[in-house]
Every structure is written in structure tokens, then in C-alpha cells.
């Protein structure tokens, strides 16, 4: 074996092309994204309305209990207290179920769109000779901390899908979840599709 044949695999590895994309950016540019966001907002509003109705019912019954006359028998008071405990437990369970339902609805809605993005990322990588494409917004610790602008294939992925990009790709950021105060959480941040 010659020295050149030993160095050939290293030279090939050094020349592998690496690209990156912001899945969040690509997703935000897709027409499907606005429809998913609208559907999730509508569903969240429905859950919030149901929660508010349950809270109102609980508050009404709590006020009725608090205004019972002093002559009310202990049996009736105990019965009303049990009813209030049941309603309060139902509120907590509904809030938890609503959160899970919202997350499941979002995952179900995003799955085909994320699969479409992944398919086009794979095609862009193959057509443009990229050995690796990293997600620059993968959760709380981005996979890519620095990269040249010419390695960003987000716009190529959008063009592959027939979408004209409308703005520059945002810098990778971590968006903290915020509470809406309604008992129904905001939709969780989107996750990147995984390479198959």
C-alpha cells in the first residue's frame, strides 16, 4: 500500500459537503403552516371555552355553598363539599387532558408537513452534493453553532417545494413556552423531522 492510497479516504472525508437549514424557517414559509396554526388556534379556543364553562360552574356552586345559612345541616354541607371537590378534581383532569389533546392535535397536524420537509431536504442534499445537513434550530441546544451562509439550504428546500422565500432565514433561537393563563398551554414549539 502506498501513502497516497492511505490518505485517499481522509481526503474524501475532508471534502464532504455540509449544509444546514432552519426547519422552523422552512415550516413558517409553507402555506400549510398558516392553516395548521389557524386550526390549532380554533381547537385551543374550543378547549378554553369548555374550561371556562367548567370554572364558571364551579365558582357558581362555590358561592352557593359559601352563602348557605348557618342552620344548614352537616349532612347537606358535607354533600355540597363533596360535590365541590369532585368539580375541582374534574377541572384539574380536564386541564391536563386538554394539554395532552392539544399536543397530540399539533403532532398529528405537523407530521405530514415535517415528512414533506424531510423528503425535500433529502432531495436537496442529493442534488447538491451535501453529505450532511444539520438543523440550526433543533430545540434548546442548536446542532449548528456557526456556519457559512452558503451552507444554508433552507431557500433551496423551499424552492424545491415550489415556494418562493419571502425573508431572510432567522438566526437560530430558543423560544420558551409561555402560559396563556387559561389553563390550556400554548402549542409546543415545533420539532425537527428526523433523518430516516
Q: Which sequence spans correspond to the domains of the chain?
A: 16-160
pLDDT given at position 6: 53
pLDDT given at position 152: 81
pTM of this prediction?
A: 0.62
Q: 103: which 3 cell numbers? A: 399536543
The candidate with the shortest Cα–Cα distance to 54, out of 97, 94, 85, is 94
Dihedral (CA of 121, 126, 127, 132) sign? positive
Per-residue pLDDT of the chain (196 residues; tens, 9 = 90+): 555 555 555 554 557 788 888 888 888 899 999 999 999 999 999 999 999 999 999 999 999 999 989 898 999 999 999 999 999 999 999 999 999 999 999 999 999 998 898 889 888 888 988 877 888 885 644 465 445 667 788 888 888 888 888 865 444 333 333 333 333 434 333 334 444 3
pLDDT given at position 89: 95
pLDDT given at position 37: 93
* CATH number for the domain formed by residue range(s) 16-160: 3.30.910.20
The span from the CA of 93 to the CA of 104, in Å, is 16
pLDDT given at position 131: 79
Q: 112: which 3 cell numbers? A: 405530514
The span from the CA of 196 to the CA of 190, in Å, is 18
The candidate with the shortest Cα–Cα distance to 132, out of 19, 45, 10, is 19
CB 157 within 8 A of CB 124: yes
Amino acid at each position: 500500500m502506498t501513502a497516497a492510497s492511505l490518505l485517499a479516504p481522509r481526503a474524501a472525508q475532508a471534502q464532504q459537503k455540509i449544509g444546514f437549514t432552519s426547519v422552523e424557517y422552512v415550516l413558517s414559509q409553507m402555506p400549510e403552516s398558516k392553516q395548521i396554526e389557524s386550526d390549532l388556534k380554533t381547537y385551543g379556543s374550543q378547549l378554553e371555552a369548555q374550561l371556562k364553562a367548567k370554572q364558571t360552574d364551579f365558582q357558581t356552586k362555590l358561592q352557593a355553598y359559601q352563602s348557605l345559612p348557618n342552620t344548614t345541616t352537616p349532612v347537606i354541607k358535607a354533600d355540597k363539599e363533596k360535590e365541590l371537590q369532585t368539580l375541582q378534581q374534574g377541572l384539574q383532569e380536564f386541564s391536563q387532558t386538554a394539554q395532552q389533546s392539544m399536543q397530540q392535535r399539533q403532532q398529528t397536524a405537523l407530521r405530514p408537513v415535517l415528512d414533506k420537509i424531510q423528503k425535500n431536504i433529502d432531495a436537496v442534499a442529493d442534488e447538491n452534493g451535501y453529505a450532511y445537513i444539520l438543523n440550526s434550530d433543533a430545540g434548546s441546544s442548536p446542532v449548528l453553532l456557526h456556519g457559512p451562509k452558503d451552507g444554508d439550504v433552507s431557500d433551496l428546500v423551499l424552492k424545491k417545494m415550489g415556494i418562493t422565500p419571502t425573508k431572510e432565514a432567522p438566526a437560530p433561537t430558543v423560544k420558551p413556552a409561555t402560559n396563556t393563563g387559561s389553563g390550556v398551554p400554548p402549542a409546543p414549539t415545533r420539532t425537527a423531522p428526523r433523518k430516516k
